[in-house]
Every structure is written in C-alpha cells, then in structure tokens.
Amino acid sequence: MNRPFDEELRDMRKTLLHMAAQVEESIVLSVRSLKERREDLAREVLRNEDLINRFDLDVDEIGMRLLALRQPMAADLRFITSAMKIASDLERIGDLAVNIVEQSLVLITSPPLKPLIDIPEMARLAQGMVKDALHAFVDKDEALARAVCERDDAVDHLNEQVFRELLTYMMGDRDTIPRAMGLLLVSRQLERMADHATNIAEDVIYMVSGRIIKHRSDQESKEPVS
Amino acid sequence: MNRPFDEELRDMRKTLLHMAAQVEESIVLSVRSLKERREDLAREVLRNEDLINRFDLDVDEIGMRLLALRQPMAADLRFITSAMKIASDLERIGDLAVNIVEQSLVLITSPPLKPLIDIPEMARLAQGMVKDALHAFVDKDEALARAVCERDDAVDHLNEQVFRELLTYMMGDRDTIPRAMGLLLVSRQLERMADHATNIAEDVIYMVSGRIIKHRSDQESKEPVS
C-alpha cells in the first residue's frame, strides 16, 4: 500500500472507463449482428462478456480494498461507492447485450420480418447515454448527468412504438409471431439498457452533489416493464 | 455518534428485514391481484412502493454514514456493503411487483385467458427465495444462500413453460394475443425477481466467506431475457 491514494483512485476510474468502452461496443455490435445478420458479430459480444465481468470484479476489488485500507471520507467515499454501483450497472448492460445476441442468433436464421429502423436507433441512444453518463462521471458534470436521465423517455417512447407495431404484425399474420416476439425482446433489452444508463447518471448526481435523486423524480417505476 | 457500533449495525439489519418483508408482501399481492382479479390488492402494491423506496434510502444512508464515520474493517465492511447491495436488489424486486400490477390492472378488465397455475407458483417460489436469502443474511448461513441460488433454475423453467404455452394460445387465436402478452410480461417479472433474489444470495455468500461467486458459476447471463 505504498502507492498514493490519488493514484489508486485514478486506476479505479480508468478501469471503469475501459469497462464502459467495452460495454458500449457490445451494445453496438449486438444490434449490428441483428441488422446485418452477422453471426460473427454476435459471437464477439459473447466473448466480450467475459472481459466485462472481469472488469466488474476488478472495480469491486479495488473499491473494497480502498474502503478497508484507506478509510476514505466524504467525496472520496462517494466516488468509490458510486464507481462500484456504476460497474454493477455496466455489467448488467453487458448481460442485456448478450440477451440481444441470443435472440439475434435465432432471428438471423429466418427471413427478416421488416427493415429495422427503431431498434438500431434505440441502440444508438442507449450507447450515447452510457457514454455521456461516464463522461459526466469523469468530469463530475451534474448537468450532463441530468441530461442523460432525461433522454430515457425517448428510448421508452421508441420501445412503445416498436411494441405497437409488432403487435399489429402478430395480429395480422400468426406466422410472424415467433419473429415478432424475438424483436420485442430485443427492443425491451435496449429499453432496460437505457434504464441502467439512467441509474448510472443518478449515481453521478449523487457523487457530485451528495443528493440522492432516485425515488424522487420518477413516479414511474425504474425497472422498465419487460 | 455516541451509540455503540454494534447497535447501529443491528439497526441496519432490522431496516433491511422490514424492507424485505414489505417486498415479499408486494410479490404475493401482485399475483393475487391478478389471480383473484382484485384491483384493491393492486393498489396496495402501488402504495407499498413508496415505503420500499424509503427503506432503500434509509439503508443507503445508514451504510454511507457507517462507512464514513466508523471506518469499519473486514467483516463489518462486508456486512455494510452487502446490506447496501441487498437493499438495491430488494428495491428492484419491488419495482417488478409494480410492473406486475400494472399488467394486472389491465388484464382484469378482460375475461381470463386461462386458469393461472404456473404464475402463482412462480410467485410462491420467488417469495420463498427472497425470504430464505434474507434468513441466510441474518444467520450468516452460506449453505442456505447456496440453496437459494440453485432454486433459480426452477423459476426459469416455469417461465419457459409459460412462454411456450402462451405462444400456443397466440398462434391458435389472434384474439388472445393482447392477454397472452400481458401474462408473458407478468411471468418475466417473476423470473427477474428470482434473479434478484439470487443476486442477494450471492451477496450473502460474499459477505460470509469473502468469496465472490458472481461471474463464476453462472455461464448463463444473470439478466434473464425478458
């Protein structure tokens, strides 16, 4: 334990940023594997998962060590506990990307049901939310974190739109039901990713301001229906 | 800060147990509201949510205060961080119960699609897993925590069974699609509850043994597809 405390905090931040980059890649690749019907990209997401899980364990380990040995106060304490929570949300986003590719691997064996527009857009939005939430974390930028929270509505809206559209397909032609169900699952994983990105942004707000905003602004449930 | 540290830890444990009891009640009531077609029970779950959220904030607040002011070591540190994680999983289970009653409030306005057997059984299993995971936490009972993790498979299995059965309804009669979709959503919320209960049991194992088992035993993703 001879290293300066600041250096250890910097290591923790770096690990979290590597983890976030890997998670962002998984979000993008999971939906590209579906849109471009590429099994190789799906396999890459499955391989990424191990890496993401290892990053999660690393962040937890660094955090527990710092809590035990450095006995940090106030701002540093909030930084460490926030980083641990953020890692846990990132890990879940990685799991959701795995869920998407599991659907993708099935869906690409049948002819496409429809051109995909909203689902790639949802992936783009979710990825942007993760990216900006982490920027907000690094820069301690409360305003950016709040902006991320607000973007959750756009993803929810797209998810509802996808749901209604696919329900119409299913009602019109029962042969579309299995594929439509697959796409519905994909859409919901993306909605849940945006929800986890929102959790991260809420953790950043807490870290920066000391104010807990979860359970405050949101009348709607934080766990999306899926 | 004149109170003995042990007393504060006891307070934290008690708060968590109250929270768990409230969450268990929400699980049971959410599915009873659907099975018995009772709007009043659904409303009670919605009211419970505020209470559950308040407990979550309380546990977090106690935890952060103890971390900052008591600078706990080893076992106490693991107890505190585990309690904070458990509260977060319990809170999400509460959110999932809210998702269920949102479906229930819609479903009970149409004639029942089928008698509900598997869904109430899933609720019973999920509630039992939460109860035992918390018992394991209080008694520091690693064997019980491991047994909880193993019960997750039974819930997953029921969820797949419900999925296949409802898909058959949908394929056979398109008029059943909206109701079948509602029941599918309910089934998946229950599967996710069992998943969160498993997370809690994993936290207990970590607390008791210092060993992290997440990302180890489970090849399958920890976030259920939904």
- Which pLDDT tens digit goes with each residue over A162-219? 999 999 999 999 999 999 999 999 999 999 999 999 999 999 999 998 877 777 644 4
Of B56, B57, B177, the CB nearest to A167: B177
Distance from CA of B143 to the nearest CA of A (A): 23
Secondary structure, 3-state, chain A = CCCCHHHHHHHHHHHHHHHHHHHHHHHHHHHHHHHCCCHHHHHHHHHHHHHHHHHHHHHHHHHHHHHHHHCCCHHHHHHHHHHHHHHHHHHHHHHHHHHHHHHHHHHCCCCCCCCCCHHHHHHHHHHHHHHHHHHHHHHCCHHHHHHHHHHHHHHHHHHHHHHHHHHHHHHHCHHHHHHHHHHHHHHHHHHHHHHHHHHHHHHHHHHHHCCCCCCCCCCCCCCCCC
Nearest to A50 by CA among B213, B221, B205: B221
Domain boundaries, chain B: 5-209
- Band (pLDDT 50/70/90 cuts) for residue A225 is low
pLDDT tens column, A91-100: 999 999 999 9
The partner residue sitting opposite B215, judged by closest CB among A56, A178, A223, is A56
Portion 87-116 of A in contact with B at CB < 8 A = 88, 92, 95-96, 98-99, 102-103
Do B53 and A225 make contact, defined as CB atoms within 8 angstroms?
Answer: no
Does B212 reach chain A within 8 Å, measured CB to CB? yes
The per-residue pLDDT for B222 is 46
Chain B: nearest CA to A143, how far in angstroms? 23
Complex ipTM: 0.78
Looking at chain A, which residue has its C-alpha nearest residue B213? A57
Rounded Cα distance, A64 and A60, in Å: 6
Question: For B74, which of A68, A181, A226 is closest by C-beta distance?
Answer: A68
Are B102 and B43 spatial neighbours (Cβ–Cβ below 8 Å)?
no
Report pLDDT for B218. 46
Mean pLDDT of chain A: 92
Split at pLDDT 50, 70, 90, the class of B212 is confident
Q: Which chain B residue has its CA at the smallest distance from A93's CA?
A: B223
Q: Do A167 and B178 touch (CB under 8 A)?
A: yes
What is the pTM assigned to this prediction? 0.86
Q: Which of residues 37-76 of B touch A (CB under 8 A)?
A: 49, 53-54, 56-57, 60, 64, 67-68, 71, 73-74
Hey, is B141 helix, strand or coil?
Answer: coil
Q: Cβ contacts (< 8 Å) between B95 and chain A: which residues?
A: 221-223
Q: Domain A5-209: give its CATH architecture.
A: Up-down Bundle (1.20)
When pLDDT is cut at 50, 70 and 90, the band that residue B213 belongs to is: confident
Distance from CA of A135 to the nearest CA of B (A): 24
* Residue B158 confidence (pLDDT): 97
